[in-house]
Amino acid sequence: MSSALVHRVTVRGRFHQLTDEARRYLVRAQPDHDIFKSGYTVEGTFTYDDRIAFFNLRYEVRGAADDEAAGAAGLREAEMFLRTMGFGFQKLSVDVVNATALWDDVERRQAT
Protein backbone atom coordinates (compact mmCIF):
# COMPACT_ATOMS: atom_id res chain seq x y z
CA MET A 1 0.00 0.00 0.00
CA SER A 2 1.23 3.51 -0.82
CA SER A 3 2.40 5.63 2.11
CA ALA A 4 1.39 9.10 0.86
CA LEU A 5 -2.27 9.63 0.07
CA VAL A 6 -3.24 11.32 -3.18
CA HIS A 7 -6.74 12.74 -3.50
CA ARG A 8 -8.48 14.18 -6.53
CA VAL A 9 -10.70 17.04 -5.47
CA THR A 10 -13.32 18.66 -7.70
CA VAL A 11 -14.91 21.92 -6.57
CA ARG A 12 -17.99 22.92 -8.57
CA GLY A 13 -19.96 26.11 -8.36
CA ARG A 14 -21.89 28.84 -10.04
CA PHE A 15 -20.63 32.27 -11.00
CA HIS A 16 -22.45 35.03 -9.11
CA GLN A 17 -22.64 38.76 -9.80
CA LEU A 18 -19.62 38.88 -12.10
CA THR A 19 -18.33 42.34 -12.88
CA ASP A 20 -18.22 43.39 -16.53
CA GLU A 21 -14.42 43.19 -16.35
CA ALA A 22 -14.49 39.63 -14.97
CA ARG A 23 -17.00 38.52 -17.61
CA ARG A 24 -14.90 40.04 -20.43
CA TYR A 25 -11.83 38.25 -19.08
CA LEU A 26 -13.68 34.92 -18.95
CA VAL A 27 -14.97 35.34 -22.51
CA ARG A 28 -11.44 36.09 -23.81
CA ALA A 29 -9.82 33.26 -21.82
CA GLN A 30 -12.46 30.64 -22.54
CA PRO A 31 -10.39 28.64 -25.09
CA ASP A 32 -7.70 28.15 -22.42
CA HIS A 33 -10.22 26.74 -19.94
CA ASP A 34 -11.88 24.06 -22.03
CA ILE A 35 -12.94 20.91 -20.19
CA PHE A 36 -10.84 18.81 -22.57
CA LYS A 37 -7.68 20.62 -21.42
CA SER A 38 -8.31 20.04 -17.73
CA GLY A 39 -6.76 17.58 -15.35
CA TYR A 40 -6.06 17.11 -11.67
CA THR A 41 -2.93 19.06 -10.77
CA VAL A 42 -1.40 20.44 -7.59
CA GLU A 43 -1.87 23.96 -8.99
CA GLY A 44 -5.42 23.19 -10.04
CA THR A 45 -7.23 23.56 -13.34
CA PHE A 46 -10.17 25.86 -13.95
CA THR A 47 -12.90 25.20 -16.50
CA TYR A 48 -16.30 26.73 -17.15
CA ASP A 49 -19.23 26.42 -19.50
CA ASP A 50 -19.85 28.49 -22.63
CA ARG A 51 -22.60 30.51 -20.93
CA ILE A 52 -20.20 31.45 -18.12
CA ALA A 53 -22.70 30.21 -15.57
CA PHE A 54 -20.98 27.20 -14.00
CA PHE A 55 -17.36 26.30 -13.29
CA ASN A 56 -15.20 23.60 -11.78
CA LEU A 57 -11.73 23.51 -10.31
CA ARG A 58 -9.74 20.29 -10.12
CA TYR A 59 -6.93 19.73 -7.64
CA GLU A 60 -4.59 16.89 -6.81
CA VAL A 61 -4.11 17.07 -3.04
CA ARG A 62 -1.14 15.10 -1.70
CA GLY A 63 -0.51 14.14 1.91
CA ALA A 64 -3.93 14.97 3.38
CA ALA A 65 -4.86 12.72 6.30
CA ASP A 66 -8.22 11.69 4.85
CA ASP A 67 -10.96 12.57 2.35
CA GLU A 68 -12.38 15.30 4.58
CA ALA A 69 -9.02 17.05 4.98
CA ALA A 70 -8.36 16.80 1.23
CA GLY A 71 -11.77 18.27 0.46
CA ALA A 72 -11.19 21.14 2.87
CA ALA A 73 -7.79 21.85 1.29
CA GLY A 74 -9.27 21.84 -2.21
CA LEU A 75 -12.10 24.12 -1.14
CA ARG A 76 -9.65 26.60 0.43
CA GLU A 77 -7.58 26.66 -2.76
CA ALA A 78 -10.68 27.16 -4.91
CA GLU A 79 -12.04 30.00 -2.78
CA MET A 80 -8.65 31.71 -2.75
CA PHE A 81 -8.36 31.40 -6.55
CA LEU A 82 -11.86 32.73 -7.17
CA ARG A 83 -11.40 35.68 -4.81
CA THR A 84 -7.95 36.50 -6.20
CA MET A 85 -9.35 36.53 -9.74
CA GLY A 86 -12.34 38.64 -8.65
CA PHE A 87 -14.93 36.05 -9.68
CA GLY A 88 -18.14 36.13 -7.66
CA PHE A 89 -19.35 32.63 -6.83
CA GLN A 90 -22.01 30.67 -4.99
CA LYS A 91 -23.21 27.13 -4.31
CA LEU A 92 -19.81 25.46 -4.06
CA SER A 93 -19.78 21.69 -3.76
CA VAL A 94 -16.81 19.40 -3.24
CA ASP A 95 -16.24 15.84 -4.48
CA VAL A 96 -13.22 13.86 -3.31
CA VAL A 97 -11.75 10.64 -4.66
CA ASN A 98 -8.94 8.85 -2.86
CA ALA A 99 -6.82 8.06 -5.92
CA THR A 100 -4.31 6.13 -3.81
CA ALA A 101 -6.99 3.63 -2.83
CA LEU A 102 -7.95 3.17 -6.48
CA TRP A 103 -4.35 2.64 -7.56
CA ASP A 104 -3.69 0.26 -4.66
CA ASP A 105 -6.78 -1.75 -5.59
CA VAL A 106 -5.60 -2.05 -9.20
CA GLU A 107 -2.13 -3.17 -8.04
CA ARG A 108 -3.69 -5.70 -5.65
CA ARG A 109 -5.92 -7.16 -8.38
CA GLN A 110 -3.03 -7.36 -10.85
CA ALA A 111 -0.96 -9.27 -8.28
CA THR A 112 -3.62 -11.98 -7.90
11-to-2, 27, 107, 109 alpha-carbon distances in Å: 25, 21, 28, 31
Return the half-sphere exposure (C-beta side, CA atoms, 13 A cut-off) of residue 7. 22
pLDDT class for 106, splitting at 50, 70, 90?
A: very low
pLDDT digits (tens, 9 = 90+) for 89-100: 999 999 999 998
Does residue 78 fall inside a structural domain? Answer: yes
The pTM score is: 0.86
CATH number, position 78: 3.30.70
pLDDT digits (tens, 9 = 90+) for 31-74: 999 888 889 999 999 999 999 999 999 999 999 999 999 999 99
Does residue 49 fall inside a structural domain? Answer: yes
Does residue 102 fall inside a structural domain? Answer: yes
> Do residues 47 and 55 lie in contact, with contact meaning Cβ atoms separated by under 8 Å?
yes
Does residue 1 fall inside a structural domain? Answer: no
pLDDT at 36: 86
Domain count, the chain: 1
What is the extent of the structural domain holding 10? 6-111
Does residue 39 fall inside a structural domain? Answer: yes
